[in-house]
């Protein structure tokens, strides 16, 4: 007899990781699968960061660390936040954990009470909804379509606020759409939120450096009226090609940082000492590697955008401004038949068809709260992107 909690049974598996797993399995069977499902840079971690980790081992950084992370790392993050984002967070307000993922979940668990509403402008990253469910909160998704550049307006936000609203999840640059909120758009949002002091904002800035607007990212935390209301989430996974090292952080009002530390102290403790020293080198070292990777992502963004335009039934009106995903609308293909006679009823069916017949893994938009779209990550080599889109085009053209 299986004995699982209702909390666990209500949870969906991560669609991004599931699709990636499926493509690994097909690869293991000898198929040439191009995996554009999971979002992770294809670059190796820069050498000076790897060197710092090797030194950390030799210098015996092998003991438990402080639960919120080494003070030296939190000092480096505090400086980064000041210099790059113009926000003041003391090291005591920063908690380092096993990826941005853990810190987002920690913050949600720390503040969301059973029945509290969390406003999530969608399309949004798959894990937000599940984390809210874990906390027994209520997801309040709001679909922002392509016509509004996938961004919520201040008026739309206000219309969703109720006495039960506890939190707003903002992600800019966005996974999966690449949308970036401008300073003006954030100012309007801050103005609305100023009327509702109970609402905490989680500002996920993990794609901060993967931006093609030519402008520095504006953080909602930098607006004076939002002081002590915004939790910044960031980490080294995307900017420094360090997804496997598992280092992310939250920078939060002191009471939230303390609560997150208490939670983390009971179920994971501080994260890997070696990875923390590597992250410290990432923040303190030269930032040229970040820019070099950004330039490569921008070239690939241009490449995949042009190729997507040539696929019948895919609609992507504007180039994404950041992150490394395209999220075209594919509704024009719904109702069509595969050569095997199966109907493509939705984005899940299309993603599965493209994987099985085209050998290209993407992720259905459904898990992002937008069933009309499909996501492809372009954090891969240019020639693989070209090959992948040729395969997708051929598979789509075979639909009747």
> What's the min distance (Å) between Cβ of 121 and ligand GLU?
16
> What's the min distance (Å) between Cβ of 35 and ligand PMP?
15
Closer CB to ligand PMP, 117 or 204, in the complex = 204
175 is a contact residue toward ligand PMP (CB under 6 A): yes
Closer CB to ligand GLU, 16 or 264, in the complex = 16
Which DSSP letter does residue 272 get?
-
Phi, psi of 82 (to 5 degrees): -70, -50
How many other C-beta atoms lie within 10 A of the C-beta of residue 288?
Answer: 9
> What's the min distance (Å) between Cβ of 283 and ligand PMP?
14
Burial category of 158 from C-beta neighbours within 10 Å (exposed 0-12, middle 13-18, buried 19 and up): middle
Q: Strand 363-364 relative to strand 374-377: parallel, antiparallel, unpaired?
A: antiparallel
Element (H, E) at 394: helix 382-397
The answer to whether 353 and 274 have CB atoms below 8 angstroms apart is no
Residues 6+ positions from 74 with CB-CB distance below 8 Å: 68, 91, 92, 94, 96, 249
218 is a contact residue toward ligand GLU (CB under 6 A): no
> What's the min distance (Å) between Cβ of 100 and ligand GLU?
9
User: Which of 33, 34, 36, 38 lies at the binding interface for ligand GLU (CB under 6 A)?
Assistant: 38
102 is a contact residue toward ligand GLU (CB under 6 A): no
SS (H, E, C) 75-132: HHHHHHHHHHHCCCCCHHHEEEECHHHHHHHHHHHHHCCCCCEEEEEECCCHHHHHHH
Closer CB to ligand GLU, 246 or 336, in the complex = 246
Sign of dihedral through CA atoms 248, 251, 256, 261? positive
38 is in the binding site of which of ligand GLU, ligand PMP, none (Cβ under 5 to 8 A by kind)? ligand GLU
100 is in the binding site of which of ligand GLU, ligand PMP, none (Cβ under 5 to 8 A by kind)? ligand PMP
Query: Cβ-closest residue to ligand GLU?
Result: 39
User: Which of 141, 248, 362, 365 lies at the binding interface for ligand PMP (CB under 6 A)?
Assistant: 248
Q: Which residues share a beta bridge with 360?
A: 34
Minimal CA–CA distance to 62: which of 270, 242, 230?
270
101 is a contact residue toward ligand PMP (CB under 6 A): yes
> What's the min distance (Å) between Cβ of 322 and ligand PMP?
11
> What's the min distance (Å) between Cβ of 294 and ligand PMP?
16
369 is in the binding site of which of ligand PMP, ligand GLU, none (Cβ under 5 to 8 A by kind)? none
> What's the min distance (Å) between Cβ of 241 and ligand PMP?
11
> What's the min distance (Å) between Cβ of 16 and ligand PMP?
8
- Binders of ligand GLU among residues 160 to 179 (CB under 6 A) are 175
97 is a contact residue toward ligand GLU (CB under 6 A): no
User: Which of 16, 85, 122, 174 lies at the binding interface for ligand GLU (CB under 6 A)?
Assistant: 16
For the chain, the 3-state helix, strand and coil shares in percent, each to the nearest 5, are 45, 15, 40
- Torsional class of 80: left (φ above 0), alpha (ψ -120 to 50), beta (otherwise): alpha
Q: Which residues share a beta bridge with 139?
A: 118
User: Which of 70, 89, 125, 150 lies at the binding interface for ligand PMP (CB under 6 A)?
Assistant: 125
User: Which of 14, 264, 273, 364 lies at the binding interface for ligand GLU (CB under 6 A)?
Assistant: 14
Element (H, E) at 248: strand 248-251
Closer CB to ligand PMP, 118 or 171, in the complex = 171
The answer to whether 37 and 361 have CB atoms below 8 angstroms apart is yes
Residues forming the site for ligand GLU (CB under 6 A)? 14, 16-17, 38-40, 101, 125-127, 175
Residues forming the site for ligand PMP (CB under 6 A)? 39, 99-101, 125, 171, 175, 204, 206, 235, 237, 243, 248
């Amino acid at each position: 007899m299986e004995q699982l909690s209702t909390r666990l049974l209500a949870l969906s598996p991560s669609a991004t990781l599931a699709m990636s797993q499926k493509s690994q399995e097909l690869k293991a069977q000898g198929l040439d699968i191009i995996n554009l499902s999971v979002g992770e840079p294809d670059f190796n971690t820069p050498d000076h960061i790897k060197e710092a980790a090797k030194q950390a081992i030799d210098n015996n950084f092998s003991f438990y660390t402080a639960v919120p992370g080494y003070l030296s790392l939190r000092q480096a993050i505090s400086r980064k936040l000041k210099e790059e984002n113009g926000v003041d967070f003391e090291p005591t307000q920063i908690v380092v954990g096993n990826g941005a993922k853990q810190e987002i979940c920690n913050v949600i668990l720390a503040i969301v009470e059973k029945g509290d509403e969390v406003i999530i402008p969608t399309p949004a990253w798959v894990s937000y909804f599940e984390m809210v469910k874990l906390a027994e909160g209520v997801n309040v998704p709001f679909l922002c379509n392509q016509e509004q550049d996938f961004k919520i307006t201040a008026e739309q936000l206000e219309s969703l606020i109720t006495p039960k609203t506890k939190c707003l999840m903002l992600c800019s640059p966005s996974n999966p759409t690449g949308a970036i909120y401008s300073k003006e758009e954030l100012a309007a949002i801050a103005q609305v939120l100023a009327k509702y002091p109970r609402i905490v904002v989680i500002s996920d800035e993990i794609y901060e450096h993967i931006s093609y607007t030519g402008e520095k990212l504006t953080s909602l935390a930098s607006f004076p009226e939002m002081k002590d209301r915004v939790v910044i989430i960031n980490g080294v996974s995307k900017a420094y090609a360090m997804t496997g090292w598992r280092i992310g952080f939250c920078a939060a009002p002191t009471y939230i940082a303390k609560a997150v530390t208490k939670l983390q102290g009971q179920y994971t403790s501080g994260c890997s000492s070696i990875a923390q020293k590597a992250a410290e080198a990432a923040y303190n070292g030269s930032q040229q590697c970040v820019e070099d990777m950004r330039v490569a992502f921008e070239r690939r963004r241009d490449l995949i955008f042009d190729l997507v335009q040539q696929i019948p039934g895919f609609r992507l009106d504007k180039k994404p401004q950041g992150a490394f995903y395209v999220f075209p609308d594919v509704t024009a293909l719904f109702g069509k038949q595969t050569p095997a006679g199966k109907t493509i009823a939705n984005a899940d069916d299309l993603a599965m068809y493209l994987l099985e017949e085209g050998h290209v893994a993407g992720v259905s938009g459904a898990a992002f709260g937008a069933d009309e779209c499909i996501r492809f990550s372009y954090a891969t080599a240019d020639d693989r992107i070209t090959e992948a889109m040729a395969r997708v085009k051929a598979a789509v053209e075979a639909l009747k």
